[in-house]
Amino acid sequence: MSGQRCLESRQSLRGICLAIVQIVLLAMPAQAAVHTAETEEERSVRSLLRQEALGYENGEGVERDAAKAASLYCKAARLGDAEAQFNLGWMYANGRGVERSDATAAFFFHAAAEQGLEQAVRMLATVGGAPNYVPECMIDRAPPQMAPPPLRAAAPLVELIPPDAPRHIVDIVKRHAPQYKLSPTLVLAFIKVESNYDTIALSPKNAKGLMQLIPETASRFGVARPYDAEQNIRGGMAYLSWLMAYFEGNVPLVAAAYNAGEGAVNRYRGVPPYAETRAYVARILGGYGRVSHPFDAGVTGPSPQLPLMRSALFR
């Protein structure tokens, strides 16, 4: 009898293990590199801020202080913590310790919903769409995100080629980078983070190839064969060149726009409060080593939000 129970136990455990494996496989991205992974330290900071805010909101272990809770939630929200964004939206939606404001609640619910928090999607429907302003506490004034450009007179950059970059990809980048007035080091940083040099990388959002071009971007910059390494790189560089002009050489803003779209950067007047995008920007900066890059103003006009971004930084 004990032997039968042991066998049944083993079969049960095996079933559990198989189920876990299936869940993990379903959760894995379809591209070669997980380019948005946060560090453990980044996750810990956000979590600690949120937990401290929760304590002040509910009076758990400390005297209840809604204003302190809102301030802490906003710090975590600015770092891209979706749960903190939702909790702060709930405080504004219900006037709990802060002045009730559906518009401000909508801002925070919208940010959390964009990061996939389902309850935020439901709450957003009750307070209306996102407002066209950014709450004061969400304006990120800390460099490098909002460091003012331009850096046309910056010291010449020594191009450092990543040792793991395949030779044929490096050759393509070096051959075309001068046409788009881009640093090969910067372009290779994007390729590394986007696809880990995988020419046939495919993301769950249908982004393809080395520079992970979505169909709209590929069409916008004339890429007919996104899995052709040379076409893909040229299309990605054309987009980077456009973003450089649009954000006047501000690399954090360019990286944020490449990841989340220039519309999101304009709407949030800086790097969007998405944990994924903030981690992405950090990785690009780590690969390039600078927060600014020369730009060709003739490619396109600047973002209309740039003056607001700069005034927010130095206010």
Phi and psi at residue 145, to the nearest 5°: -55, -40
Closest C-alpha among 295, 252, 248 to residue 271? 252
The HSE-up count of residue 212 (CA atoms within 13 Å, CB side) is 25
Rounded Cα–Cα distance for residues 253 and 293 (Å): 11
Rounded Cα–Cα distance for residues 246 and 240 (Å): 10
Q: Residue 259 is which amino acid?
A: N
The Cα diameter of the chain in Å comes to: 82
Check if the beta carbon of residue 310 is closer than 8 Å to that of residue 147: no
Rounded Cα–Cα distance for residues 262 and 220 (Å): 14
Helix, strand, or coil here: 72? helix
Enumerate the β-bridge partners of residue 250.
Answer: 292
- Asked if residue 150 has a cis previous peptide bond (ω within 30° of 0), the answer is yes
What would the two tokens of residue 77 be? 């929200």
Would you give the distance in Å from CA 177 to the centre of its chain?
A: 25
Q: Is 230 a catalytic residue?
A: no
**What is the CA angle 279-284-286, rounded to 5?**
95
> Which of the residues 38, 52, 194, 248 is marked catalytic?
194
Burial of 36 (0-12, 13-18, 19+ CB in 10 A): middle
**What residues are labeled active site?**
194
